[in-house]
Amino acid sequence: MSDTTHDSRQWFAPIPEDRRRRFAASSQNGIHITLAAQSLVNFASNDYLGLRNHPQLKEAAITAIQKDGMGSGASRLISGDHPQLHQLEHELAAWKGYESCLVVGSGMLANIGLIQALADRHTHVFCDKLNHASLVDGVRLSGAKTHRFSHRDYNTLSTLLEKNNASKRIIVSDGVFSMDGDCADVAQLLSLAEHYDTLLLLDDAHGIGCMGNNNRGLSSNIAGHGRLIEVGTFGKSFGGYGAFILGTDELIEGLKQRLRTMIYSTALPAAMPAAMLESLKLIQTGTLQKKLQDNVELFRKQTITLKLLPSETAIQALIMGSDGDALAAAQTLRNAGFFVPAIRPPTVPEGTSRLRITLSAAHSFEQIEHLTTALKALS
């Protein structure tokens, strides 16, 4: 007898048409993206420096594939470890100013594994309400007691820390917030961590490589502090895929024994560390970041009359309010030759559907001027 409740076609409640997430199969050619046979200027990529397409990265990856093959074949603790993963960890730690580094499969894997390894049900974690989903899920998986504070409201954080004592406590925050483009005050977070005796976990996926002193991210003045654990990713400024965790020698050694998302997951293929070593060299020159900063300044100057969220980063958000308005605006921009996605709940809070514009060093001034003209024509 068939039981209809266990028919997979009926398992999930239907999602209304206007809330449905959709894949958008596309090919990309530099800063252009082709969607449904239409070539658009891409303002929806986290490739902030345009490194995704850099010949130096491609050449390093091709050489590594020819030598080592495509996949790594196993987890790092079995046979998938590669000397270039160690070289990359060594160079990242030295550049960022930490004792040690661990490269893992992705930012999602880094965060869910890291918080699960650090915290259990006796731990109290204090989270910014706009933290990335990977941090939220890591906290959930760990079973820790969670306290959420309004976005960047450090007075409330302080009150929560005052009220909720426990032998193990961690403050958890994004660095650059991925949907709003604003920044955590990392110095203030660290001083709260010191005052209240907690750890601080900072995910600066969007800041490392393009923000802070020497583009070392928002933590550049406090990096290496014993209370600070930092996560970065290769999918954004580095133009690749994967992630890394930075901290003290003891922390990283502890993670090698406990990070389930590294222990039980296939290692990154050798092509990735080979290419990311090249990204690191290019990032250290600072040339591309200068172009990105000029692009951000031009964009802000040209959109002074628009109600953009405050942001000095490559992420610029124009709140539209309703889902329908955001979708309609995204379609108008698409008709004008730009790919700017509408971001809707549950990715962002209800009533804050928005256009999320991401700028890159690969955009020309002309492309930015054309986009800002189209944005101004929306209202």
Ligand X SMILES: Cc1ncc(COP(=O)(O)O)c(C=O)c1O
Residues assigned a catalytic role: 178, 206, 236
Which tokens hold the place of 97? 């100013």
Q: Residues binding ligand X: what is the number (CB under 6 A)?
A: 14
State yes or no: residue 219 binds ligand X (CB under 6 A). no
CB 104 within 8 A of CB 244: yes
State yes or no: residue 47 binds ligand X (CB under 6 A). no
How many other CB atoms are found less than 10 A from the CB of residue 138?
31
CA distance to 90, 109, 118, per residue, from 258 (Å): 20, 13, 9
Whichever of 241 and 372 has its CB closer to ligand X, that residue is 241
Bridge partner list, 176: 183
Chain positions 50 to 89 lying near ligand X, rule: CB under 6 A, are none
State yes or no: residue 230 binds ligand X (CB under 6 A). no
How many other CB atoms are found less than 10 A from the CB of residue 34?
15
State yes or no: residue 279 binds ligand X (CB under 6 A). no
State yes or no: residue 178 binds ligand X (CB under 6 A). yes
> Can you tell me which of 42, 72, 233, 313 binds ligand X, judged by CB under 6 A?
233
C-alpha 358/C-alpha 178 separation (Å) is 10
Whichever of 303 and 313 has its CB closer to ligand X, that residue is 313
User: What's the closest the beta carbon of residue 156 comes to ligand X, in angstroms?
Assistant: 21
C-alpha 320/C-alpha 299 separation (Å) is 18
State yes or no: residue 358 binds ligand X (CB under 6 A). no
User: What's the closest the beta carbon of residue 203 comes to ligand X, in angstroms?
Assistant: 5
User: What's the closest the beta carbon of residue 104 comes to ligand X, in angstroms?
Assistant: 9
Map residues 82-111 to x or -, x wherever contact with ligand X holds by CB under 6 A: ------------------------xxx--x
Residue the block writes with tokens 């658009």:
40
State yes or no: residue 240 binds ligand X (CB under 6 A). no
User: What's the closest the beta carbon of residue 19 comes to ligand X, in angstroms?
Assistant: 21
Whichever of 110 and 340 has its CB closer to ligand X, that residue is 110
Q: Which of 315, 310, 309 is nearest to 296 (CA)?
A: 315
State yes or no: residue 261 binds ligand X (CB under 6 A). no
User: What's the closest the beta carbon of residue 60 comes to ligand X, in angstroms?
Assistant: 20
Q: How far is CA 251 from the centre of its chain?
A: 22
CB 51 within 8 A of CB 239: yes
Cis amide leading into 14 (omega within 30): no
Query: Strands 145-149 and 26-29, how do they pair?
Result: unpaired
User: What's the closest the beta carbon of residue 365 comes to ligand X, in angstroms?
Assistant: 27
C-alpha 139/C-alpha 198 separation (Å) is 16
C-alpha 27/C-alpha 19 separation (Å) is 25
State yes or no: residue 134 binds ligand X (CB under 6 A). yes
Q: Which residues bind ligand X (CB under 6 A)?
A: 106-108, 111, 132, 134, 174, 178, 203, 205-206, 233, 235, 243
